Structure 1
């Protein structure tokens, strides 16, 4: 049994024992993506927007939050279009072989893809050599599975 299965079983037992609704107990064990920001809002509103805890969707081992049900439905239809390219991590740091948690307030959309960064200077630095930095970050993508 994997660690995730063990945690899931423990959550199920706790939910039953304490009368906690299973959906909310299970959701607590799934990590929150991009600190609860709505990934679709970057594309539709042109800015970071906090998602609502009552409008969530689980995808790729993360819990995404959305500011509207319409945004959730757009994400469900095409999650790879809206999800940040490197999950919760800074694209610029990953291009250098480092894992740094991103701040969703620092972001960039390029070629229809969302990138988030750890610092305010990240988007500008990343754009200086966009193709090279994207390539290097993708080469370092295996670091994300070690986290």
Structure 2
């Protein structure tokens, strides 16, 4: 192989690795923010209702208090929450890049609705509709096993470009 061929091969390999590093973009809806502009850190301080009951409303972020992660802008209700996120964004960001946990369990990427949430094992999961929440909650451990096994093949695919059904976000504020 000559130097030119080696250079092209090395460049192609570098591009391949770079593409893999940026695969799996965060779901962002028409608000322009991840999690529709809700404060992802605040979910962890909200009381969580038992399975079968709706969760409390999420806390809207402030468009003046933001951070970038996974190719998206996240909004926060306070500087303290922003700093907590920056210290460990993977802890607070919704699982499956903000896509519906049940959708991933079924093998696809569909939007996650930030008002339909649950924290399981200190991780934030979103679902797309109230009906889907019911299906997901019928067997959360089994669905998480499926979604965990499906995610490696779905992650490199582009983020969903679908809108959240019947959705009108109030977030972010400010």
TM-score, with length taken from structure 2? 0.62
Query: Which residue number in structure 2 is paired with residue 113 of structure 1?
Result: 123
Equivalent pair of 1:106/1:119 in contact (CA under 8 Å)? yes
Query: Which residue number in structure 2 is paired with residue 17 of structure 1?
Result: none
Q: Quick one: distance in 1 between partners of 2:131 and 2:118? A: 11
Aligned pairs for 1:89-128 within 5 A:
89-128=99-138
Bigger CA radius of gyration: 2
Give, in angstroms, the shift of residue 86 of structure 1.
1.2
Give, in angstroms, the shift of residue 50 of structure 1.
1.4
Give, in angstroms, the shift of residue 56 of structure 1.
0.5
Q: Where do 5+ consecutive residues of structure 1 fail to align? A: 3-30
Match of residue 63, structure 1, among 53, 56, 73: 73
Q: Where do 5+ consecutive residues of structure 2 fail to align? A: 1-14, 16-31, 48-55, 159-174
Give, in angstroms, the shift of residue 110 of structure 1.
1.1
Query: Which residue number in structure 1 is paired with residue 157 of structure 2?
Result: 146
Give, in angstroms, the shift of residue 127 of structure 1.
2.7
| Matched residue count | 119
**CA distances 1:81-128 after superposition (whole Å, capped 9, x unpaired):** 111111221000110012211110000111111100101133332232
Equivalent pair of 1:106/1:123 in contact (CA under 8 Å)? yes
Q: Quick one: distance in 1 between partners of 2:131 and 2:88? A: 29
- Identify the structure with the greater helix proportion: 1
Bigger relative contact order, structure 1 or 2 (CA pairs below 8 A, ≥6 apart) = 2
Give, in angstroms, the shift of residue 44 of structure 1.
1.6
Deviates more, 1:126-135 or 1:95-104: 126-135
Question: Does 2:130 match 1:129?
Answer: no
**CA distances 1:52-106 after superposition (whole Å, capped 9, x unpaired):** 1110001122211101111101111121211111122100011001221111000
Equivalent pair of 1:94/1:137 in contact (CA under 8 Å)? yes
Structure 1 stretches of at least 4 aligned residues deviating more than 4 Å after TM superposition: none
